[in-house]
Structure 1
Amino acid sequence: MIEVNELTKRYGRTVAVDGLTFTVEPGCVTGFLGPNGAGKSTTLRMIIGLNEPTSGSVTVQGHRFRDHPRGLRHVGALLDASDVHGGRSAVAHLGVLARTNAIPLRRVDEVLAEVGLAGAARRRIGGYSLGMKQRLGIAAALLGDPPVLLFDEPLNGLDPEGVRWVRGLFRRLAAEGRTVFVSSHLMSEMEHTADHLVVVGRGRLIADEPLASFAARGRGSSVTVRTPDADALAGVLTAAGAQVRPDGEERLVVTGLDADAIGELAHRHGHRLRELATSAASLETAFMELTADSVEYLAGESR
């Protein structure tokens, strides 16, 4: 578990992170979203002690990262896949990390095989493609078999097979009960991978909720409901804050509530449902709408 409490980071007059508070729970994939300059990378660096907070605190498994002995056994992180010594081989690079964290050297071969780099293990990293460096960075994060994993833009440079593999890897790690925190700009991949979202803008928290609930807040998503009690159910949903539009005699189109919430309200009030279908909820639409005031750089506009 990662617990962030009133975390703030200032660089002179610039506030990069402004009083962030959220918790990243184990057992699910949590996506970390925000426009450029939102403070995501700074927050990730503070979690693993690379940046010191101006105020506030962040703990991993109840302790500051720096207080964990043999850090890679507790937290694995991929923050910059290119931040490696190009003259070393993958085996040498991971071997150094293993020795300094008291990790059995057999893990080096294990993780290289897991990420698909066994055949390139003794090649110099400087000759790797970006996708191969991403795989190596993921191998380094997995090296200590840690309960907490952080990934910053892990899909950059990966081909479609690699993207699919990473998606499955994150879901498997979460299913094992680990804490998986992923920062990405690829909304389509977050829709396929994340269960929960933490969204920030200009260093402040915008949302901390399940992905489906966040996507449903965008105007591009809706739920179709078919019921013989259309008029009565429409009143219930409107009272709960939804926007309801009749679409035929028994059909309603609902925005502002997700399908789970609608089903629960219908059950609670005794209304029968014959259809409950969610349109393709657009995470991208919801993200663009809810972070519009937090975008630092707008193409085609001067600020």
Structure 2
Amino acid sequence: MIEVHELTKRYGRPGAGRLAVDRLGFDVGPGRVTGFLGPNGAGKSTTLRLILGLNEPTSGTATVGGRRFRELPRGLRDVGALLDAHDVHGGRTAEAHLAALARTNGIPRRRAAEVLEEVGLAEAARRRIGGYSLGMKQRLGIAAALLGDPPVLLFDEPVNGLDPEGVRWARGLFRRLAAEGRTVFVSSHLMSEMEHTADDLVVIGRGRLIAAESVADFAARGTRRSVTVRTADPAAAPGLADALAAGGATVRRGEAGTLTVTGTAADRVGVLAFRHGVPLAELTARASSLEEAFMELTADSVEYR
């Protein structure tokens, strides 16, 4: 369990510096994948560093299992993390890199080979990391996070640089780790990936909490809902489109008598079609996607437009 309470981080002089995290509070529980979202500059990376004790908060607390990370006795056995895939010594091999981490954390050396196999780098274990692609470095970072078999895992943009197969692999890995009862906290800017990976979301903007809820509940907060209408008689579609527009709806015309309607409910569309004698072959309501809800609900928190 990760618990963040009234967490604040200000850089620079008191009262005059930059406020990166502002009285932030949320919990991340075990058994679920929790996505961590926010516009660029929202404070996501700073928050992860505060949780891991790499930065000292100005005020507030961030704990793992009820204790600050620096107080945890077992290092990588307690928490595994990937913050920056480039933060490795390019002159070392992957095998040597993980062996050093294992030794300093009291982890059996055999775990290095096990996690390299798990992330698909076994054949590249003795190659120097400087020759790795970004995707390979991401896999190595994930391997390092898994090295101590910890109950809590944090990943900052872990699928950057991965090809489609790698993204699919990472998605399955995170869900499997959560299914094993671990706490899995994943920061990402890829909305489509979070929609397929995360169970819950923590969304922040300008260092403040915007939402902490399930993916479905967050998407449902978006107002950009639409209705897809397909007429059994394509020739009747223009008349229905005009009737919907006259009623205040926004209508986009597609092929074969298909209309995409926003600004009105599906039952209202059905009533208008009945009144105008338009036979329908399809009437489907669609909620906002995660990306649409995110763009709408974080619009006031975007630092650069």
1:14 maps onto 2:10 in alignment:
no
CA offset at residue 220 of structure 1?
Answer: 2.8
1:42 is matched with: 46
How big is the shift at 1:246?
2.3
Cα distance, 1:70 vs structure 2: 2.3
1:213 correspondence with 2:222: no
Shift in Å at residue 217 of structure 1? 1.4
| 1:296 aligned onto 2:303 | yes
Amino acid across the alignment from 2:123: G
Amino acid at match of 1:116: G
The aligned counterpart of 1:199 is 203
SS in 1 for 2:270: coil
Size of the aligned set, in residue pairs, is 256
Contact 1:216–1:222, Cα closer than 8 Å, also in 2: no
Taking structure 1 as the reference length, the TM-score comes to 0.81
Please tell me whether residue 138 in structure 1 is matched to residue 142 in structure 2: yes
Shift of 1:4: 0.2
Does structure 1 retain, via aligned residues, the 8 Å contact 2:5–2:26?
yes
Task: Report if the CA contact (8 A) 2:36-2:186 is conserved.
Answer: yes
Match of 2:175 in 1: 171
Note the C-alpha offset of 1:207: 0.5
1:146-185 superposed matches below 5 A = 146-185=150-189
Q: Is the CA contact (8 Å cut-off) linking 2:223 and 2:288 kept in structure 1?
A: no
Q: Does 2:36 match 1:32? A: yes
Letter in 2 for 1:169: L
Q: What is the alpha-carbon distance in structure 2 between the residues aligned to residue 199 and residue 213 of structure 1? A: 12
Secondary structure (helix, strand or coil) at the match of 2:70 reads helix
Report how far residue 222 of structure 1 moved: 5.9
Partner of residue 248 from structure 1, selected from 264, 270, 292: 270
Identity fraction in percent: 79
Partner of 2:289: 282
Unpaired runs of 5+ residues, structure 2, are 229-263, 274-282
Q: SS at the partner of 2:136?
A: helix
Rounded Cα–Cα distance in structure 2 between residues aligned with 1:105 and 1:62: 29
SS of residue in 2 equivalent to 1:145: coil
CA shift digits 1:63-107 (9 cap, x unpaired)? 110011121001000000000000000010001110010011110
Q: Give the C-alpha shift of residue 216 in structure 1.
A: 1.3
Shift of 1:35: 0.5
CA contact (8 A) 1:215 1:221 kept: no
Structure label with greater radius of gyration: 2
TM-score (ref. length: structure 2): 0.81
Instruction: Compute the RMSD of aligned alpha carbons.
Output: 1.9
Letter of the aligned partner of 2:74 in structure 1?
A: R
The CA deviation at 1:223 is: 8.7
